[in-house]
Amino acid sequence: MVMVSRWFVVGAAALAGVGLATSAALSDVSLGPEGPLRVVLTAAGTGRTADCSAAAFEGTFFDGATVTVTDPAGTVVGAGEVDATGRATPDGCTWSLTFGDLTGADSYVVELRREGTPPRVHTYDFTVTELAEKDWTVWVSVFA
């Protein structure tokens, strides 16, 4: 009985050592941005049966809003304009923009802007870690 216990302890220690070595090896691997970055805008207050046509959103935030992605130095690394017609989903009306692979920065700023009187600007800062945790998809809900 004592021999079995010793071998059990030796085996468990060996397995634990392999696990620790594997963890240490994996933690040293540098995982870069997985991009592309997807920004999904939702019209707050809309439901699954909402009219998401361009006419329904004429003159609102979603009519001509721009989405810009910048790196920490302020360099624009992606830009796009919200399409006129939203997509009806269970989350309400949504618009989706996808920006190509973003590499080299440790954080990004996503800015939503709609010119008008007054202009409306929404700014969000994300680290690469936060974006990776979100699978590189950012959901933003905005009132039209």
The CATH classification number of 37-142 equals: 2.60.40
Going by pLDDT thresholds of 50, 70 and 90, the confidence category of residue 20 is very low
Number of H helices, E strands in the chain: 2, 8
Q: In this structure, what token pair is assigned to residue 46?
A: 């809309």
How far is the C-alpha of 141 from the C-alpha of 127, rounded, in Å?
A: 20
Q: Is the pLDDT of residue 41 over 80?
A: yes
Give the per-residue pLDDT at 134: 93
pTM above 0.75, yes or no: no
The tally of CA atoms less than 13 A away on the side-chain side of residue 21 is 6
Identify the three-state secondary structure at position 5. helix
E runs forming strands in the chain: 37-43, 66-70, 76-81, 87-89, 92-99, 107-114, 120-127, 137-142
Q: Is the pLDDT of residue 33 over 70?
A: no
What is the percent of the chain where pLDDT is above 90? 54
Query: What mean pLDDT comes out for the span 31-37?
Result: 63
Asked if 142 contacts 39 with a C-beta cutoff of 8 angstroms, the reply is no
Q: Is the pLDDT of residue 64 over 70?
A: yes
Average per-residue pLDDT in the chain?
Answer: 78
Domain ranges of the chain: 1-30, 37-142
